[in-house]
Amino acid sequence: MERERHLLPPQLRNLLKPEAIERGSITNLTVSSPDIIAGLNNYYKTRLAQYGIQTIQDLANLTDFEPLKDDIDVSLLRKWTLIAQILVKYKDLLEKGLNFEEYIKKAKIGRILLLGLDGAGKTSSLETIQKMKTVAKTQPTMGLEVKTLVFANHELVIYDLGGQKQFIDIYLSDPQTYFQSTLAIVYFIDVQMPSRFKESLDFLENIVNDLQLLGEDPSVHIFLHKFDNPSDKTLQASKTDIKNRVTNLLTRLKIKYYRIEETSIYQIPRLVSAFSRVFQSISSVTQVLNDTLRFYAEMHNILGIMLLTKNGMIIAEYTARFTPSQRIAIYHEILEYVNRFDIQQKLIYSKEPINFVSEPDRFTVNILPLKLQSYSTESAEQEDYPTNFIVLINDRVEGSAVLSPIEIKESITPWLTSFILAIQPPNNKK
């Protein structure tokens, strides 16, 4: 029984060479040479050893890729390091007597703050991405409301903080209660209200100062919200003005990671894409998934690949060969398909891809249901439902892809399963 407890679960076996799996003991694997990892050959083993990396544990501890980048591609280092961290995490959990599968299912990435002045659109935006339809009217948030959202097999804890002045004063007087253990902040600015830009920027500056005093270093995402009509010249000028002022402020405050998005509840693809980037920024597995999708796209001659949640949020993607407008146009059509009831039913029961040609650029898009195996306690019938969608995008040249969409899906699924289900993020904060 003890031996069975230490055998690798299926998700971890996908990451290793067959001879490594036969060793059975996870403890032995963590002190083994890095070349037990699938794809890590003797050449790379020698290169790693030159930098003092001789075991899986050594590789798990690697944080600075800079000295090695001339010898080994950084995307490979990132992937191998994450695999090593997964193995070490599994060993640590077993030594503590914890059930790895249940631990994965209950993992929480951490706290995300939705902030901004009252009326900026925080709550309506969150409800829009949850329901995948525009929610224009909501009740004002009175103080703090705690909400949760599942993304890439992790439960996100979201603090929706009302923006009325009396509540802002409370947050700023007790930042430890409201701002500590924060992994990302989403700050909403109403671009239709230039008269409140200064007030909004002052609040943002106070938030950042408090976070820095608390020793927090979250990713910062600025949503220039209510950008409902991009062709409106007055609104365009207002957006440009506040974007420049935000950039100057965050540069002065020496924020390491920030992203500025133009959002609107009436442009759901842009809003969902912006929120997806927030969630991706705090998931340690996202960059490896992006690298994996890029690898498969290049190997199979595909223009782009997206990995989506079952309601269409983007977990990872390789879309570097599209312009921003092409990407959003394609994604808009994908969302319309995956959120249609009849399409959902067809994907669930037929397990065949849905194919369409996107407009106006005439790309061929294949949407395939993806079941990432997990240790669910639900019924066998429930187990057979897709948990995600994988989207393949190509031009219309006949036979341009090396394999069929179904063959590509079957090829990539083991890797996606391993990375999504077999990792508890190292930057987890309770």
CA distances from 125 to 80, 141, 154, 163, 223 (A): 37, 13, 20, 14, 10
What's the CA gap between 288 and 413, in Å, rounded?
Answer: 14
DSSP string, 76-109: HHHHHHHHHHHHHHHHHHHHTT--HHHHHHT-EE
DSSP string, 317-337: EE-TTS-HHHHHHHHHHHHHH
- Report phi then psi at 6, rounded to 5: -100, 0
Residues 37-49 have a mean pLDDT of 89
**Which pairing describes strands 108-116 and 154-161: parallel, antiparallel, or unpaired?**
parallel
What confidence score (pLDDT) does residue 3 get?
41
What confidence score (pLDDT) does residue 429 get?
39
Please give the DSSP secondary-structure letter assigned to residue 253.
T
What's the CA gap between 207 and 169, in Å, rounded?
Answer: 11
Residues 51-68 have a mean pLDDT of 90
Place of tokens 């979250």: 218
What confidence score (pLDDT) does residue 427 get?
40
Residues 298-304 have a mean pLDDT of 83
- Report phi then psi at 295, rounded to 5: -60, -45
Asked whether the beta carbons of 242 and 143 are under 8 A apart, the reply is no
Quote the tokens at residue 219.
Answer: 């990713």
Query: Tell me: the pLDDT tens digits for 189-205?
Result: 999 999 999 999 999 99
Class of domain 286-421: alpha beta
Q: Which fold has domain 108-281?
A: Rossmann fold (3.40.50)
What's the CA gap between 344 and 342, in Å, rounded?
Answer: 5
What's the CA gap between 240 and 218, in Å, rounded?
Answer: 25
What's the CA gap between 279 and 156, in Å, rounded?
Answer: 8
Query: Tell me: the pLDDT tens digits for 224-263?
Result: 999 999 889 999 999 999 999 999 999 999 998 899 999 9
Quote the tokens at residue 382.
Answer: 């429930």
Is it the case that residue 108 has pLDDT exceeding 80? no
Is it the case that residue 402 has pLDDT exceeding 80? no
Residues 43-58 have a mean pLDDT of 92
Quote the tokens at residue 249.
Answer: 């402020």
What's the CA gap between 154 and 283, in Å, rounded?
Answer: 9
What's the CA gap between 221 and 421, in Å, rounded?
Answer: 26
Return the number of other C-beta atoms located less than 10 Å from residue 150's C-beta: 12
Q: Which residues contact 74 (CB under 8 A, 6 or more apart)?
A: 65
What's the CA gap between 384 and 348, in Å, rounded?
Answer: 8
What's the CA gap between 6 and 90, in Å, rounded?
Answer: 9
Report the candidate in 430, 182, 173, 133 with the shortest Cα–Cα distance to residue 311: 133
What's the CA gap between 332 and 355, in Å, rounded?
Answer: 15
Taking phi over 0 as left and psi of -120 to 50 as alpha, with beta for the rest, 94 belongs to: alpha
> Chain-wide mean pLDDT for the chain?
80
Is it the case that residue 320 has pLDDT exceeding 80? yes
What's the CA gap between 90 and 101, in Å, rounded?
Answer: 10
Residues 21-28 have a mean pLDDT of 62
The confidence band for 283, taking pLDDT boundaries of 50, 70 and 90, is confident
* Amino acid, single-letter form, for residue 297: A
Query: Tell me: the pLDDT tens digits for 347-379?
Result: 666 666 788 888 777 888 988 887 765 433 333
What confidence score (pLDDT) does residue 348 get?
62
* Amino acid, single-letter form, for residue 232: D
Q: Which residue has the higher pLDDT, 7 or 228?
A: 228
What's the CA gap between 178 and 236, in Å, rounded?
Answer: 34
What's the CA gap between 46 and 99, in Å, rounded?
Answer: 35
What confidence score (pLDDT) does residue 2 get?
40
Asked whether the beta carbons of 227 and 262 are under 8 A apart, the reply is yes
Report the first-to-last Cα separation within the chain, whole angstroms: 33
What confidence score (pLDDT) does residue 4 get?
40
Structural domain spans, the chain: 2-98, 108-281, 286-421
Query: Tell me: the pLDDT tens digits for 71-92?
Result: 898 878 887 887 887 778 777 7
